[in-house]
Amino acid sequence: MIVEDRKNRRRFLAAALGAATLATVPSLHAQSGYPDHPIRLLVGAGAGGTTDITARLIGAQLTKVLGQPVIVENKAGAAGTLSMQQTVRAPADGYTLVWVGNSVMAIAPYLYKNPGYDPKTMIPVSLGTTSSFVLVASPNLGFNDLKGMIAYGKAHPGKLSFGSNGVNGSLHLLGELLKTEAGFDALHVPFKGGAESANAILSGNISFLFDAPSSNLELIRAGKLKALAVTGPHREPALPDVPTMAELGLPAMTTEIFFGLVAPPGTPDAVVNKLADAMKVALTDPTLRANLMATGNQPQSSTPAEFRERIDKEGARFQALIKAKGIEPE
């Protein structure tokens, strides 16, 4: 009787083990076969802007590398945080990703009491592009360079104004940082978007603004806007004659725009690493690189760890600026 019980126990354990093994096969197969159907790439901005353009260019190349369609979906709203909120709620299987910039991952979380996501739980996959912010001014104000604008601002308090795409956004904060570092005052004038602020500077309603080079290259080349400086560590290839902030004696203004690929919390390492490898391959394509650089964006991939380090460093910097300016989270 005891022998028979032992045999039955062994049969039960063997059957249970077999069932457990079979149960793991589909998930292991799905992970090793990733991706086996289309991928959604959420973009927290409307069509036609820098965020959208870079996402679509890189998404098209990822489609070729991964062998599955990467479908860009614009989810504009709430200063880009809406796309992050939807990504957090998505299954952590690698089939819903988000294309984000530093404003969403490193700035917005410190400006809102409840942004709807925690950037520290999101999974950075890979950096995609970098570029400088460019400081542009109206050519009709009587100064030809940043030194002249600062001198004008000091000599004429309250006469200068600068635009941005919204209160406490990255462009607003850069303007405030410039005022602090250079020691002059200027009135902040917020607008709903980059197009409105560009029209305001062209019409002479504001004096200067920071923006992405891709939004202003044609206006700069046509002489309708004057590029005074770029914020990156190096001069922009698209604007080789424009000095960096560091060259002009304002090293604390050195910062870059970056865009990259981010996955929901809990996404498996194998999926994240496969996506990071795909980004690395995609960004070696000569045509993609040329198309990105034509818009003022420099293609640059990274490991997930390197992307996390960049996000954390930028976040700490702007968190300190927000605190120094006494800006209270909304």
Which of 247, 284, 315, 277 shows the shortest CA–CA distance to 107?
315
Amino acid at site 311 = I
- What is the pTM (predicted TM-score) of this model? 0.79
Average pLDDT, the chain: 87
Helices 286-294, 50-66: crossing angle, 10 deg rounding: 180
For residue 8, pLDDT beyond 70: no
For residue 3, pLDDT beyond 60: no
| Domain 134-253, CATH | 3.40.190.10
DSSP state of 248: T
**Span 106-110, mean pLDDT?**
87
Give me the residues paired with residue 22 across strands.
Answer: none
Q: Name the percent of the chain in helix, strand, coil, to the closest 5.
A: 45, 20, 35
Sign of CA dihedral 15, 17, 23, 26: negative
Which of 152, 122, 125 shows the shortest CA–CA distance to 137?
152
Greater confidence, 271 or 112?
271
Q: If you write DSSP's letter for every residue of 60-119 in order, what string do you get?
A: HHHHHHHSS-EEEEE---GGGHHHHHHHHHS-SSSSEEEEEEHIIIIIGGGT-S--SS-T
**Span 236-252, mean pLDDT?**
94
DSSP helix/strand/coil, 260: strand
For position 32, what pLDDT does the model report? 60
> How far is residue 13 from each of residues 4, 10, 177, 213, measured CA to CA in Å?
14, 5, 67, 65
For residue 5, pLDDT beyond 80: no
For residue 130, pLDDT beyond 90: yes
pLDDT one-digit tens code per residue, 267-318: 999 999 999 999 999 999 999 999 999 888 999 999 999 999 999 998 998 8
For position 326, what pLDDT does the model report? 83
Q: What are the residue boundaries of the structural domains of the chain, listed by start?
A: 33-131+258-324, 134-253
Sign of CA dihedral 268, 270, 276, 279: negative
Sign of CA dihedral 238, 180, 314, 196: negative
Four-CA torsion 180, 186, 187, 192, nearest 10 degrees? -80
For position 29, what pLDDT does the model report? 33
Which of 159, 198, 160 shows the shortest CA–CA distance to 178?
160
For position 323, what pLDDT does the model report? 85
Task: Spell out the residues 6+ positions from residue 248 whose beta carbon is closer than 8 angstroms to its own.
Answer: 146, 147, 229
For residue 6, pLDDT beyond 80: no
For residue 11, pLDDT beyond 60: no
Amino acid at site 105 = M
Please identify which residue in the block is written with the tokens 């004008």.
Answer: 152
| Residue 190 to residue 192: CA distance in whole angstroms | 7
Task: Spell out the residues 6+ positions from residue 155 whose beta carbon is closer than 8 angstroms to its own.
Answer: none
Q: Is 33-131+258-324 a domain of CATH 3.40.190.150?
A: yes
**Span 98-110, mean pLDDT?**
89
Q: Do 33-131+258-324 and 134-253 come out as alike in CATH topology?
A: yes
For residue 214, pLDDT beyond 80: no
Neighbour count for residue 320 (Cβ, 10 Å): 11
For residue 36, pLDDT beyond 80: yes
**Span 196-200, mean pLDDT?**
84
**pLDDT band at residue 84 using 50, 70 and 90 as cut-offs:** very high
Lowest mean pLDDT among 93-102, 107-116, 137-146, 262-271: 107-116
